[in-house]
Structures are given as C-alpha cells and as structure tokens.
Amino acid sequence: MTAAELQSMSPINLTSLPEIFLTPAEHDQLSRLVGDHEATGAAGLLQQELDRATVTEDRPAHAVGLDRWVHYSDGRFGQPRRVKIVLPQQADIDAGLISALSHVGAGLIGLPEGESILWPDPSGTVRKLTPVLVEDGDPLAWDERARHQSLPPIRAPMASR
C-alpha cells in the first residue's frame, strides 16, 4: 500500500506521523520479510513504516521493538493489552505473540511509549494505537519504572533449588 492509498483510506496526515525507531537488525529482518515489491494490506503498511523509520543502534530504550513485550491502548478497549511483536513464524495470538505483519504489529513497531498513531485496522477503520509501556528485559528495571508509573510490579520467578 502506498502512502497515497493510506492517506486516501483514512484521515492520517502523513506529515504528522510520530517518529519511529528501529535497530539495523530489526530493520533488516523486517525489510527481508516484506521484500522489495510494493505490498498491500498490513505488509504495505509495514513497508511504509520501514521507509520512514529512524534506524539506529541506539534505539530509545522504550520504543517498541521486535521480541519486546508492550502494553498498548487502541482506543476501542478500556484496558491496555499486552503483546509481543514477533516474526510471523513465531506468532501465537493465544500467547500474546502478534506478527509484525499484522495491522497492530505494523502500527506499533518502533513507536516510543506515549506516542500515538492513527492506524487502520483490516476493515479500514482508523483507530489510535498508543504504547503505554514497553517492558525492559531486566525485571528490576521494569519494576523501578512501574513504581514511577503506578503500575503493578512484576516479580521474576524464583529459581528452583
């Protein structure tokens, strides 16, 4: 899907899209996934995001990346949802693992916490996606951030003896 097609199907102003950040490895994996040919649907949306992404080794720590858990709101449900954006072969919706080739995955990838994007769903209805918390890999760091954001802390499982 081209930027013109996206703009024609929704009131998204492409000049006001929030900046997104990807590491070079993520950008490479996702670029290989969608290929060089113009795609449609979620793959086309992901291509658009890859074209405008800021690619840096120093991706902000709280920007949505591949294989990171994110809590997001989508403007439809009262409670944030928790998902991990993964490559399609790893997707398992029952486990909260969503494909980067899904509409939600393509919309969230690279977005920093607190930034919102107006994004189409498969029916073309536009909704507002907002990452509210990107979990750190280190449970202690996440616990510290949760304390400042009034979120319940997580506890690392105790090692078996």
As a whole number, the mean pLDDT across the chain is 81
| 64-115 confidence digits (pLDDT tens) | 999 999 999 997 777 899 999 999 999 999 999 999 999 999 999 999 999 9
Task: Indicate the helix (H) or strand (E) that contains 43.
Answer: helix 41-52
For the chain, domain boundaries: 3-145
Find, among 76, 56, 75, the residue nearest to 65 by Cα: 56
State whether CATH 3.10.50.30 applies to domain 3-145: yes
Residue 27 half-sphere exposure, CB side, CA atoms within 13 Å?
16
pTM: 0.76
Q: 139: part of which helix (H) or strand (E)?
A: helix 139-148
